[in-house]
Amino acid sequence: MHDEPRVLQDRILVQLLEERYQKLVVELRLQGQGKTLQDGAVHFCGLACTSSSDSYVFVPRNALKGSKLENQRIARTTMRVLAKYGQDTRDRQGTSSAEEGNVGLISTVQDLADDFRRYGVFAERVRYQTKNSGKPNWPRTAARELAMVSTNGNIVYPNIRTSRTLNAHDSILAQIQVGVLLEIVEHHGWWLEGLRGREAELKAYASPSFPRFLWSQKLQTLLPNLFAQRAIRLVYSLIAYLDENAHQNDGVTLYGMDDFHWVWERMLREVIPGAESGWNSRLPKPAYRHIASGRLQVQERGMQTDIVVRDGAALKVLDAKYYDATTVPNSPGWPDIVKQLFYHLALNSVTADEVRTGSFVFPAQNDGEGPFSQVAVVGPDQIEVGGFPSINCIYLNVVAVMEAYLGKRKIQVEIP
């Protein structure tokens, strides 16, 4: 099993990473996953395994604390958040519809671990023939055994053909499940509840004797003959794991996503009280008017607000922003600010409710721990221009948000 992984932070500078973990940078470049090394920083949140003994977990920006023990806990929380996000974004076919990365693989890992915790290694009920022990098989006894007549005239069989059932763990499905679980324990046992320490138990069972690249194919051939729901679900999960993680034996694997912004947005929508859905379909859309006919041709996609919160009779638009927001350069720019102003106008056009000022919501180490309170629009003389709604800046504890998301709880947040 891997030792506890080294804990790093999303958006860490590549230069810092190269100074300490040169091999990790090399492998990240070879993997070439999306925005991994964009703008001189590593854009990745999740687990990176570079060998059978070395692994690194990237936690969200502003999540790291001063304690190594606390950071390990945050690393476990991060992986569980990614697993839950992968489950929450699955489509009807069970495939994760996450915007990028392979969080679907993380949720599949979680599914396989949960199945093992609940039911153990898959067992087939096998009935085998016995004598004088188990359920009597009278037709077989009459055909195979010599009958005797008792003193009172009754037919007696000295030996009775019987059968017993046994839970067999040597099926192809059980062997592949064990092989996959041993991989999962090695790479993920540190964050999966109830799996650590069960490696010896798994090794007591038979593992596949055929090459790993055939495991998925063997499982596919089993599906037409399976009827039990657990067996079918287990086979699909194993196939998903093997197909998404085909190069496991290479020792270099990434489990995560390049842009944690999508998770930040999802979490805030789930944990902030008063969030209302359905507003995007009600907002106006842009349309182009033809010169000749004068008819309008409407674009399919209109404005996409992150979160609309109801506070009594007032509506407030929140925009989840996965920025540091500690200086002007690392804060949202003019395009994001303009969108907030348009949200304000759009909501005003479709509701009689009062539409208040919008807000940017940033991840921080602690609630309220950020330098900015508002975004204003100013003229060349640096004086605030009237007629533009201002935008508030809200900083929320990123770890507290993750824990609330996992616990399906709301958080206390004051929205101006």
CA 245 to chain CA centroid, Å, is 15
Judging by DSSP bridges, how do beta strands 354-355 and 314-320 pair with one another? parallel
Q: 2 pLDDT band (50/70/90 cuts)?
A: low
Please give the share of the chain, as a percent, with pLDDT higher than 90. 38
Mention every residue, 6+ apart, whose C-beta is less than 8 A from residue 96. 86, 89, 90, 103, 104, 107
**Quick one: tokens of 54?**
């070395």
Q: In 3-state terms, what secondary structure has residue 232? A: helix
pLDDT at 247: 59
- Residue 332: strand, helix, or coil: coil
Distance (Å, rounded) from C-alpha 10 to C-alpha 248?
Answer: 24
Q: pLDDT band for 10, please (50, 70, 90 cuts).
A: very high
Average pLDDT score, the chain: 84
More confident residue, 383 or 356: 383
367 phi and psi angles, rounded to 5 deg = -55, 135
Looking at residue 228, its pLDDT comes to: 84
Contact 147, 137 (CB under 8 A): no
Residue whose C-alpha is closest to residue 109's, from 44, 189, 46:
189
CATH architecture, range 261-406: 3-Layer(aba) Sandwich (3.40)
Which pLDDT does position 198 carry in this prediction? 87
Q: What is the mean pLDDT of residues 368-376?
A: 92
Beta strands at 374-375 and 391-397: parallel, antiparallel or unpaired:
antiparallel
pLDDT the model gives residue 411: 93
Q: Residue 239: which pLDDT band, with cuts at 50, 70 and 90?
A: very high
3-state secondary structure of 202: helix
Residues 6-18 have a mean pLDDT of: 90
Better-scored residue on pLDDT, 169 or 61: 61
Task: Identify the band that residue 225 occupies on the pLDDT scale cut at 50, 70 and 90.
Answer: confident
Dihedral (C-alpha) 162, 168, 170, 173: value to the nearest 10 degrees? 120
Predicted local distance difference test score (pLDDT) of residue 111: 94
266-292 average pLDDT score:
86
How much is the pLDDT for 328?
Answer: 94
- What CA–CA distance (Å, rounded) separates 68 from 72? 6
Residue with tokens 């067999």: 168
pLDDT tens for 168-220 read 667 888 999 999 999 899 889 999 988 888 888 899 888 898 898 899 999 99
Where in the chain is CATH 3.40.1350?
261-406
pLDDT-based confidence at residue 97 (cuts at 50, 70, 90): very low
Q: What is the pTM of this model?
A: 0.83
Number of CB atoms found within 10 A of residue 269's CB: 17
Give the model's pLDDT for residue 387: 80
Place 134 in a pLDDT band, splitting at 50, 70 and 90. Answer: low
What integer pLDDT is reported at residue 279 of this predicted model?
A: 75
pLDDT, tens only, 377-410 = 888 988 888 888 788 999 999 999 999 999 999 9
**Which tens digit of pLDDT belongs to each residue from 77-96?**
999 999 999 988 876 444 54
